[in-house]
Structure 1
């Protein structure tokens, strides 16, 4: 009987290993969506690395009431709006830099959606 259990256990272990399941190969956890800096780096096709985006987001975020994820979306929306209106010299990175630089340091947190809207208006000459 002991030999039957050992043989059955060995067969089960072999089946699990072949199927990709073993103690050394746990089921992978679901992957999280990319962070805001990675999202922007992916959007620009690798022209800037994730760390560059993270640096600018880290500078801009304390000035804004929005989360870094929302700020990344705002920067992308600025670029898309400009491109729709024939302005193609802006990237997500340059938009982040310009939006950050347009706000003084030490000011209270503000709604940066308004800052982005003003920037788009200025760039489009409306």
Structure 2
């Protein structure tokens, strides 16, 4: 991994940690599903089932849970926006991250895929 990708991976991991997605949250209320969380973040532009469909395609390729994948998509968008890339939404990030996965491989750490995608988009 080159230095720029390593920096992007570090930024994504920091965003995930700050968002509380790297540890379990013993909240008594039932949290929204990962797809619902993403639909809520985009203000209702896409319905929950659209997010769920992409998460269902991406999750089997990744070592992370759907909850963490949703957090990765959100952190990807936030990181891009910090660097002036404003044409990405959580939905488009999910689609692009899923499409970035090489075919026919075993499960991968999708944080690395997201970091590479952020690096590509920022250049």
Q: Which of the five TM-score ranges fits, normalised by the shorter chain?
A: 0.7 to 0.9
RMSD of the TM alignment (CA)? 0.9
> 2-side partners of 1:91 and 1:98: how far apart?
10
**Normalized against structure 2, the TM-score is what?**
0.76
Structure 1 gap ranges (5+): 1-29
Query: 1:107 Cα shift?
Result: 1.1
Question: How do 1:28-107 residues align onto structure 2 when only pairs under 5 Å count?
Answer: 31-107=29-105
Q: Give aligned pairs, total.
A: 96
Structure 2 gap ranges (5+): 1-27
RCO (CA 8 Å, sep 6+): is it higher in 1 or 2? 2
Query: 1:105 Cα shift?
Result: 3.1
**Normalized against structure 1, the TM-score is what?**
0.74
User: For the pair shown, which has the larger CA radius of gyration, 1 or 2?
Assistant: 1
- Tell me which stretches of 4 or more aligned residues in structure 1 moved more than 6 Å: none
